Amino acid sequence: MLTEVVVAGVTLVVAEPAMAVVHRFAFHGPLWCSHKSHHEHPTARHLVRNDLLWAWPLLASAMLIRFGDAVLVGLGLGTIAYVAAYILAHDGVAHRRFWVPRFLRRMTMFRVIAATHQLHHCGGREGAGATPFGVYLARLEYRWRLSARYRPPTKVCGPVPISYATSFGS
């Protein structure tokens, strides 16, 4: 039990900087065609293509919890905890895609997260979709100019198949 808790805690802490790197280099790189739906519809109350990008880590975490040893169970629990915290802060507080209690929205931490995340959508220093890429450490990322040489994606995305577009509102 202690192993699972320690590994879950370490995973939760390491996940934020790791996710900032994934967001910068994967979501704003090869996965841009799926992620751009979030930039086009940031306050959508229905599923957009970008929401499906969370399916693989959640599925992998469920498999780790179900079939893994103590370390893998901790890794799965930490990942699920980070995804839940991310969705609360990003989709719930920053974009108001679902209802979040007022006392949470008014917490200084969440107000700072919402304000710094707006820089990412408004352009910040480098244009649309620029720094910061993280959520919980976004203020430091912005202050330290960690993505100073960022170039917005220029990838042209093909049309979405009709069945997919009608199912997920793309």
Note the pLDDT tens digit of each residue in 113-149. Answer: 888 788 777 764 444 556 667 787 777 776 666 655 6
Q: Which regions of 14-85 does DSSP assign to beta strands (E)?
A: none
The verdict on residue 166 lying in a domain is no
- Cβ pair 100, 88 in contact under 8 A: yes
Between CA 90 and CA 98, with CA 94 as vertex, the angle to 5 degrees is 80
The verdict on residue 161 lying in a domain is no
The verdict on residue 48 lying in a domain is yes
Domain count, the chain: 1
The verdict on residue 39 lying in a domain is yes
Q: Rounded to whole angstroms, how far apart are CA atoms 46 and 95?
A: 13
The verdict on residue 88 lying in a domain is yes
pLDDT at 95 over 80: yes
pLDDT at 125: 42
Domain that holds residue 15: 2-153
pLDDT at 165 over 60: no
The verdict on residue 10 lying in a domain is yes
The verdict on residue 170 lying in a domain is no
pLDDT digits (tens, 9 = 90+) for 17-54: 898 888 888 888 888 888 888 888 788 888 888 888 88
Residues near 10 by Cβ (< 8 Å), separated by ≥ 6? 74, 78
Average pLDDT, the chain: 81
- Cβ pair 29, 38 in contact under 8 A: no
